[in-house]
Amino acid sequence: MKASIISIGNSKGIRIPKSILDQCKFNKEAELEVQDHKLIIKPVRKKARVGWDKAFKLMHDRKEDVLLMNDALDIEMKNWEW
């Protein structure tokens, strides 16, 4: 498939048909990469929990890893409001 390069303000761009975007599962962002004089456009895939290990270690080092609320189970439901 050929696509024309068009002007978009001071930049240039191409129009990608919706069917191709849907087929490749693009959302609102794309990752651009140049390899061997070729432009590669990939959908951004956010990996779940990336960096959590470092964030939790930092929280532990700062003594910030404390419960913010009591999560004890009230089996008798004495403190529940119905």
pLDDT for 28-63, tens place per residue? 899 999 999 999 999 988 777 888 999 999 999 999
Q: Of how many residues is the chain composed?
A: 82
pLDDT at 79 exceeding the cut of 80: no
Instruction: Tell me the C-alpha distance between 18 and 41, whole Å.
Output: 15
Q: What is the CATH number of domain 1-66?
A: 2.10.260.10
65 pLDDT higher than 90: no
Taking the model in full, what pTM does it have? 0.49
Residue 18 is predicted with a pLDDT of 92
- Domain locations in the chain? 1-66
Alpha-carbon distance 82 to 79, whole Å? 10
